[in-house]
Structure 1
């Protein structure tokens, strides 16, 4: 199960990186059209934000997998491997998983309302299906929960040695 979660998270990270490449191209196109040809598009600007949302939400689990999340490295780097493992275990159990479960729980209601209203952009020329991008919020945190559970299992295994 640990390897499957790791592999899945890796593919989610690769997907987010691919979407980042698309976002860069879209921004270059949008900026070129706006500044060189005086042509702008509300829909393109909103698409940029939607892609940015996808990248951020799908990258959270990948960042945890790579241990690249924010922490106070001044202290953490000087700790022994065992102490780091204990800190990672406590952080996952007391912070990452409960916080993520809360976001998924609250986010599902938020997404449900958005789907029921068929929420779209309030801007003229904006994108019509905003509820789709809102559904990425709980999904991204479900991915984070999966990766955090994997981290807990790895930490418990390391501590039992």
Structure 2
């Protein structure tokens, strides 16, 4: 097997792993729908809404969005300005992707990841919980989604960088 083909097989495996994880995490949206329905029934039907269910909705939605970024990166379905991009040749598109990853995306993600670690640590150290009397405890768990999802996104971005570099070298 050609060395360049092997290189793309590795990239495909990483993308498939990120996509599989993303599909598994997307089940939080099904749980979110059930939680919203339950909260609405309790609030409107029985005048007994629960703060913990409302907070759980925020946590589930946030988790889905945060991990959904890496899924979108692996699927190459993220937002980009395609007005000019589609008219460029393959080499120019690869160079734009590589440059954008190196100059814009990776530095930004590195900052978010670095600063989120103290954010999570402080929450864990103080065993932060909801300010609401009936709110959810262990707020550090949802805050830990930030560095975990950003770490997964960095993996997906590095994989995209690797793929674009191989395709640029191959001239595809």
- Select 1:128's aligned residue among 129, 134, 137: 137
Q: Which runs of 5+ in 2 are unaligned?
A: 1-9
SS of 1:47 mapped into structure 2 = helix
Deviation at 1:70, TM superposition (A): 1.7
Match of 2:62 in 1: 53
Give me the whole-angstrom Cα distance separating, in 2, the residues matched to 1:39 and 1:73.
48
Match of 2:13 in 1: 4
Match of 1:36 in 2: 45
1:101-121 deviations in whole A, cap 9, x for unaligned?
111111101111110000000
Give the root-mean-square deviation of aligned CA atoms.
1.3
Q: What does residue range 7-22 of structure 1 map to in structure 2 within 5 Å?
A: 7-22=16-31
Which of structure 1's runs of 4+ aligned residues deviate more than 3 A?
Answer: none
- Select 1:140's aligned residue among 113, 135, 149: 149
Q: What does residue range 11-160 of structure 1 map to in structure 2 within 5 Å?
A: 11-160=20-169
The alignment covers a number of residue pairs equal to: 161
Q: Tell whether the 8 Å contact from 1:12 to 1:59 is kept in structure 2 after alignment.
A: no
Give me the whole-angstrom Cα distance separating, in 1, the residues matched to 2:133 and 2:144.
22
Q: Tell whether the 8 Å contact from 2:19 to 2:75 is kept in structure 1 after alignment.
A: no
SS of 2:26 mapped into structure 1 = helix
